[in-house]
Homo-oligomer: A and B are copies of this chain.
């Protein structure tokens, strides 16, 4: 990425993160409110140093189509709640069995399994409530957002379907097609929802929604390829979890299926496809372009 864009992009990400973190703090139950354990667990996992990539994408998409940040923030936070609930449940011993995330104990390690199950459940609930209660948006926009978010996070066309297929695929060889299908559901669907929800709040038309969806589909794929590459190549310190874990548990990964070099080339070409999709949007989309650059070059 050109050296002059990097600082600008980091400023944008930092600004979005600050906005999102402030809004999340207002939306989540307080730690001193009964039942304290589950509220502590929720905040432990939500404020664990996440990049806020999905909310940032929602904000960038919404601003591209002309929405104000204040109209976008609650839905951006709802997305982060869904993402965090999925991380809490994915880390459980019966699922991926992870003790560390972003360099800190995972929710069920810091608290206990029952609390982690409930914290995830409650975060999902609060995500939908946050959108339903956003009275500054027309009701028909709110039900549209809720339907988008639910489709992208549930089954058969969303995140839970991807996680279920990923578990089913463990300990056996998957084809390249299966791998893309799994990741399109597991991470791509929610990334697509982030881009689409921003545009929906801004009142984008059908063609604009189709264009942003093309971009988001490539971005989601790029995100997963670089995520898999980081798992193979990065140090534990940089990614905050045990590297190489995917390979050891025989999870379906891009480097595993294609090899590291071919996976890197695939990342480059998917990045170019994402940028090409942006040209169709016909609006100033520097930030969306910058997000694609950022994902391509990310180190964490």
Measured CB to CB, the residues of A under 8 A from B are: 29, 33-35, 37-39, 42, 85, 89, 92, 94-95, 112-115, 117-118, 120-122, 124-126, 128-129, 132-133, 138-140, 142-144, 146-147, 150-151, 153-156, 158, 160-161, 163-165, 167-168
CA distance A38 to B124 in the complex (A): 18
Find A114's partner among B38, B85, B94, B132 (CB 8 Å cutoff).
Answer: B94
| Residues of chain B contacted by A144 (CB below 8 angstroms) | 132
Contact B112 A156 (CB under 8 A): no
Contact B142 A129 (CB under 8 A): no
The answer to whether A122 and B35 touch (CB under 8 A), given A114-B95, A132-B143, A139-B139, is no
Find A158's partner among B42, B92, B125 (CB 8 Å cutoff).
Answer: B125
Q: List 12 A-B contacts (CB under 8 A).
A: A33-B156, A34-B156, A34-B161, A35-B155, A35-B168, A38-B155, A42-B155, A114-B167, A122-B155, A125-B150, A132-B144, A143-B146
Smallest CB-CB A-B distances: 7 pairs? A94-B113, A129-B150, A139-B139, A125-B154, A35-B164, A132-B146, A38-B164
CA distance A161 to B92 in the complex (A): 20
Find A156's partner among B29, B95, B153, B164 (CB 8 Å cutoff).
Answer: B29
Contact A89 B115 (CB under 8 A): no
Count the copies.
2
CA distance A224 to B14 in the complex (A): 49
| Residues of chain B contacted by A154 (CB below 8 angstroms) | 121-122, 125-126, 129
CA distance A156 to B163 in the complex (A): 28
Find A89's partner among B121, B133, B140, B151 (CB 8 Å cutoff).
Answer: B121
State the Cβ distance, A2 to closest chain B Cβ, in Å: 41
State the Cβ distance, A261 to closest chain B Cβ, in Å: 31
CA distance A127 to B168 in the complex (A): 25
Find A140's partner among B113, B139, B147, B163 (CB 8 Å cutoff).
Answer: B139
| Residues of chain B contacted by A122 (CB below 8 angstroms) | 154-155, 160-161
Q: A125-B155, A132-B144 are in contact. List 11 more A-B contacts (CB 8 A).
A: A35-B155, A35-B156, A39-B156, A89-B118, A92-B117, A94-B113, A94-B114, A118-B160, A118-B163, A122-B155, A126-B150
CA distance A118 to B164 in the complex (A): 7
CA distance A120 to B94 in the complex (A): 14
| Residues of chain B contacted by A160 (CB below 8 angstroms) | 38, 118, 121-122, 125
Contact A155 B89 (CB under 8 A): no
A120, A129, A138, A151 pick with most chain B CB within 10 angstroms? A129
State the Cβ distance, A153 to closest chain B Cβ, in Å: 5
State the Cβ distance, A124 to closest chain B Cβ, in Å: 6
